[in-house]
Chains A and B, each alone.
Chain A
Amino acid sequence: MKSETTYYPAVEQSERLGAFSGESVPRVEDKRLLKGQGAFVDDLWMHRQGHVHFVRSPYAHARIVSIDVSRAEAQPGVYATLTGEEVGVLQQPYFQMAPEPGGLMKDYCMAVGKARYMGEPVVAVLAESAALARDAAELIDVVYEPLGVTLDGVGTIEPDVPVIHDEIGSNVAWHGVYDYGDVDWALENADHVVRIDRLHFHRFSSAPLETTGALVNWDPGTGVIEFRTNNQMPMFAAMFIGPAIGVGVDHMQFSSQDIGGGFGIKITSYTYLTALALLSRKAGRPVKWSETRWEHLAASAHGNERTFLDIEVPVMSDGTILGFKVRAFDDAGAYLRYEPLGAVIWSQVVPGNYRIKHVRVDYTETLTNKCPVGPNRGYSRLQHLWMVERIIDIVANELGFDPVELRRLNYVQPEDYPYETPNGCIYDSGDYPAMLERVLELIDYEGARERQRAALGTGKRIGIGIGSTLDSGTNNFGQSRIINSALPFSGNGEAAVVRLDLYGEVTVTIGTTPQGQGHETTAAQVTADILGMSPDQVHVAAGYNKAANTYVGFSGTYASQFAVTGLGAVMGAAEKLRGEIVKVGACMLGAEESDIELADGFVRLAANHEAAIPFIGIAATVFANVAELPGELADSVTLNCRYVYRPPFTVPDHETKTGKLTLTYASQIHAAVIEVDEETGLVTILDYAAVDECGRKINPKIVEGQVHGAAAHGIGAALYESFEYDSDGQLLNATFADYHAATALDVPDIRYDDIECPSPFTPNGAKGMGEGGGAPLSTICSAIEDALPEGAHIVFDTHNNSERVYELLRSAAAKGPRGVEVLSR
């Protein structure tokens, strides 16, 4: 099956990394963050700024009959208001990534004509202080005519439900069938077919501790809009905002320094940035907005909710899983915002960690009267990967296979790499069997099985669960053409500048928007290795600044790619600078370039370390004493080296829905031992372990921290965190008092280990990581199912609070349908 043409062109991997790359160098960022000296968006201010408060729809679906702002505008300290009606004139609907029918959607930065989810902004008020803006908001009279709501991500396609966007004509935004291999053949020829009625991936958010915010100034003199904001993908935001309000990207300036977590949720804040820009222009002032927690949980973005129906799994008698067939309904909420990219992004990991060959996914992106979704950590892959892991455990249970052995049998094997998936993605490297073995050691698998037997009859049931997962990184944006052939996107990239400054300082700027991932530290590590110096001699600019001219269209921090794209750009720029330093140094030392080496911040002769020039000597000559250099040399160096890293992608095929969708495939395997209280359904985690593989690690401590954090998000979602809407579309838990963000008591100690399988496709052997792939969702579900008595219903939901576990425990005695059946021949 494999042919050379399915691989990428050979990559030259840097041999200079090593002295510092690979070491847990302490983070540069920490000092300012520990001292309270960080600069988060709410810490910024401008002269004459006003504060913004949004009046939001109390209804999930309502026509806006009238808005009267006169009482608010008459208040002392109130500068201006902005209504949806005004927005309808001042803004063109955002560009849509969906083809028709979803592409017909008219989406604005605030509700125009009607509100489509509870919390949608209806009016913005600008006042001297946040408190006065909030007071004034109370005086704004909005008359609503409530409309019927549609809330179920599957039922919303039925003909009799209210249509959210009249221009679309139904609540189906996108539909497509992904058909790989021959699933009909597999179902006809399998020894067993396991049928699963329904699996449901619930709605939650990684909810960064810092909410969304911005300080926006539309400068009337220059016409430049300055956005100081914690948006994590600013050039993507610019692509949406620019055409919508008729402003060129050259007239938009974005910057951020410290961002208090993002996890993808801060990608789609472009709607709020648009509203703030319009309000700034209207008021002739800078405007500042800091979202409240309630606003964040109700109306920023939620993770995608997905329902899988009618799953059929062909299995051979030896346990070989041939494939699966499923209908998937992804609930985007009220607007498409980043969707329907999720409708293709899951296909980066079609077979999960397994050698599954025959797959058909009938995928529908639907609309409901709920908060729009955004790319939450593990975006769109974790939903699919969870379903695949559920399939593995359910097949093992139903057909009597050991869940460990079934995984071993079906895993992609170490000798299979590079491994081509049924849709043409190339898994770069890995060793899942070794990771599985290690994670089972960490939880003492055999000992846990003994504890499980010993616990029977005590009122506590022990369950052991495994979750295998992938963290596909470095997107090929060409995959967007699989959902819409007309989209002008493909490939990916990131930019960096490495410069030797006037007094010999090495400075680095990157197009990324770090939110805690330690980019300043790791960028300094690779730069130091390439330039022969120490990381503390390298200054990496904190945060993102568009004015630094270090960005491409995909710049930002998202989708597990910094170690490849960000560091790839930094390494390329550092190599260019190295070349220039060597060239100037050779000239000044009267030597050949091949005789030169860089060490300790000096250019020197490899054969005679006394013949050396410090970097300041090179910089001072080029910048301020340039007449001493031969003209030809002076013309060829700038010491200001920009490099754009470009992964070697081609455009995927729209018709067959195939191609190389991501460059790297980091993986994690988790295992848990849990205790379930038979009387209450309460789940307690007794042991938890995670084994990570993300290629070559630049800073192992940072990698381990990312694994911990992603594991905590998954554990929180599996047991505690779930957005709950009532039948009117009211979100019932939009504060941290109600939405139980996992605490130090909820997340157990996580035993950690790693293995390293360098990627052959990246310039440094690293793989992007950080999203984690949602392993705990699979692991906890696997463990709960393992703890249930014989004859219980399958674990069908990602979220299993004690009430749901209690019902599952009771389902065994009820002897009702179990949500699964097996057909054997």
Chain B
Amino acid sequence: MAGEGGAVNSIEVTVNGETHRVAVEARRLLVHFIRETLGMRGTHIGCDSGNCGACSVICDGQLIKSCMMLAVAADGCEIETVESLGDGPDDLDPIQAAFKEHHGLQCGYCTPGFLLNTKTLLAENPNPSEAEIRRALKGNLCRCTGYVNIVRSVQAAAEALR
């Protein structure tokens, strides 16, 4: 892909179990590394300011916004993106299946971020209350659903995973 100019560093990043040793420009954001360098387009960009959560990924078990992290800072990290969910290209994991069943997505642009947020939330708290779900989701914006069916999807996913 096209260069960005500036200093270049070699990093080693594991994304969805596959390790990549790549030279990246120092100013390249992790989200651009995932989307442009690795060509994985499931991680989206909605705001550039860390507010919308469309670019959320899991980094060493923590939910992060990949527009707020430089790719070089991910050196040595293990990243999980939406492409890691489910077995193979057609299988839906229980969280994805719950979002489908409860109409927890419309345009689908924010969805990868919400799925990874839900995965992190349920790993920490398998039985969250509605208030806890809403608090956990507050860093992810959805402009289509009014969050009503997203909350229901997370509740259903929690039940399925328990």
Interface of B is mostly: loop
A737 at the interface (CB under 8 A from B): yes
- Assuming the A-B contacts A31-B92, A292-B48, A736-B52, are A711 and B146 also in contact, with contact meaning beta carbons closer than 8 angstroms in the complex? yes
A112 at the interface (CB under 8 A from B): no
Chain A residues in 8 Å Cβ range of B105:
30, 33-34, 516
B151 close to A709 (CB less than 8 A):
no
- Least CB distance from B28 to A in Å reads 8
Chain B residues in 8 Å Cβ range of A701:
103
Contact with B along A124-156 (1 / 0, CB 8 A): 000011011001000000000000000000000
B51 close to A736 (CB less than 8 A):
yes
A231 at the interface (CB under 8 A from B): no
A129 close to B146 (CB less than 8 A):
no
Contact with A along B117-144 (1 / 0, CB 8 A): 0000000000000100111011111111
Measured in the bound complex, the distance between the Cα atoms of B149 and A77 in whole Å is 46
- Least CB distance from B2 to A in Å reads 4
Which chain B residues in 64-88 approach chain A with CB under 8 Å?
A: 81-83, 85-86
B45 close to A290 (CB less than 8 A):
yes
- Assuming the A-B contacts A208-B143, A261-B144, A711-B146, are A736 and B49 also in contact, with contact meaning beta carbons closer than 8 angstroms in the complex? yes
Which of A33, A704, A736, A737 has most B Cβ within 10 Å? Answer: A33
> Which residue of chain A has its CB nearest to the CB of B36?
A129
- Assuming the A-B contacts A210-B44, A293-B48, A705-B149, are A34 and B107 also in contact, with contact meaning beta carbons closer than 8 angstroms in the complex? no
- Least CB distance from A779 to B in Å reads 14
Contact with A along B16-59 (1 / 0, CB 8 A): 00000000010100000001000011111111111110100000
Chain B residues in 8 Å Cβ range of A744:
133-134, 137-138, 140, 142, 147, 150-151
Measured in the bound complex, the distance between the Cα atoms of B3 and A76 in whole Å is 11
Which of A24, A135, A745 has most B Cβ within 10 Å? Answer: A745
- Assuming the A-B contacts A34-B111, A735-B49, are A263 and B143 also in contact, with contact meaning beta carbons closer than 8 angstroms in the complex? yes
B5 close to A38 (CB less than 8 A):
no
A622 at the interface (CB under 8 A from B): no
Contact with B along A722-760 (1 / 0, CB 8 A): 000000000000011100010111010110000000000
Which of B85, B99, B101, B105 has most A Cβ within 10 Å? Answer: B105
A260 close to B109 (CB less than 8 A):
yes
A43 at the interface (CB under 8 A from B): yes
A56 at the interface (CB under 8 A from B): no
A705 close to B4 (CB less than 8 A):
no
- Assuming the A-B contacts A27-B103, A209-B110, A517-B106, are A36 and B146 also in contact, with contact meaning beta carbons closer than 8 angstroms in the complex? no
Which chain A residues in 698-734 approach chain B with CB under 8 Å?
A: 701-702, 704-705, 708-713, 715
- Assuming the A-B contacts A34-B96, A712-B146, A737-B49, are A261 and B109 also in contact, with contact meaning beta carbons closer than 8 angstroms in the complex? yes
- Least CB distance from B35 to A in Å reads 8
B138 close to A745 (CB less than 8 A):
yes
Interface of A is mostly: loop
Cβ 8 A contact of B109, one of A132, A210, A704, A709: A210
B44 close to A260 (CB less than 8 A):
yes
A26 at the interface (CB under 8 A from B): yes
Cβ 8 A contact of B107, one of A210, A710, A741: A210
Measured in the bound complex, the distance between the Cα atoms of B15 and A716 in whole Å is 36
- Least CB distance from B118 to A in Å reads 12
A37 close to B52 (CB less than 8 A):
no
> Which residue of chain B has its CB nearest to the CB of A518?
B106
Chain A residues in 8 Å Cβ range of B146:
708-712, 715, 747, 750
A37 close to B106 (CB less than 8 A):
no
Chain A residues in 8 Å Cβ range of B52:
209, 293, 736, 741
Chain B residues in 8 Å Cβ range of A206:
143
Which of A30, A39, A208, A702 has most B Cβ within 10 Å? Answer: A30
Measured in the bound complex, the distance between the Cα atoms of B1 and A282 in whole Å is 23
B130 close to A749 (CB less than 8 A):
yes
> Which residue of chain A has its CB nearest to the CB of B6?
A131
A207 close to B143 (CB less than 8 A):
yes
B115 at the interface (CB under 8 A from A): yes
Cβ 8 A contact of A709, one of B35, B41, B46, B143: B143
> Which residue of chain A has its CB nearest to the CB of B52?
A736
B90 close to A31 (CB less than 8 A):
yes
- Assuming the A-B contacts A517-B106, A744-B147, A747-B146, are A37 and B89 also in contact, with contact meaning beta carbons closer than 8 angstroms in the complex? yes
Contact with A along B139-162 (1 / 0, CB 8 A): 111111111111100000000000
Chain A residues in 8 Å Cβ range of B115:
34
A51 at the interface (CB under 8 A from B): yes
Chain B residues in 8 Å Cβ range of A705:
103, 106, 144-145, 149
Chain B residues in 8 Å Cβ range of A37:
42, 89
Cβ 8 A contact of B100, one of A31, A39, A711: A31
- Least CB distance from B44 to A in Å reads 7
A515 at the interface (CB under 8 A from B): yes
Which chain A residues in 37-64 approach chain B with CB under 8 Å?
A: 37-40, 42-43, 51
Chain A residues in 8 Å Cβ range of B40:
36
Which chain A residues in 77-133 approach chain B with CB under 8 Å?
A: 77, 128-129, 131-132
> Which residue of chain B has its CB nearest to the CB of A750?
B148
Chain A residues in 8 Å Cβ range of B61:
none
Cβ 8 A contact of A34, one of B44, B45, B100: B100
B111 close to A33 (CB less than 8 A):
yes
> Which residue of chain A has its CB nearest to the CB of B111?
A33
- Assuming the A-B contacts A31-B90, A36-B42, are A516 and B148 also in contact, with contact meaning beta carbons closer than 8 angstroms in the complex? no
A453 at the interface (CB under 8 A from B): no
A712 close to B147 (CB less than 8 A):
yes
Chain A residues in 8 Å Cβ range of B35:
42-43
- Assuming the A-B contacts A263-B143, A735-B51, are A36 and B151 also in contact, with contact meaning beta carbons closer than 8 angstroms in the complex? no
Binding site for A on B (CB under 8 A): 1-5, 25, 27, 35, 40-52, 54, 81-83, 85-86, 89-90, 92, 96, 99-101, 103, 105-112, 115, 130, 133-135, 137-151
Could you list 17 A-B pairs, sorted by A, with CB under 8 Å? A27-B100, A34-B105, A34-B115, A35-B92, A40-B44, A43-B35, A129-B3, A208-B107, A293-B48, A293-B52, A294-B48, A516-B107, A702-B103, A709-B146, A711-B146, A735-B49, A736-B49
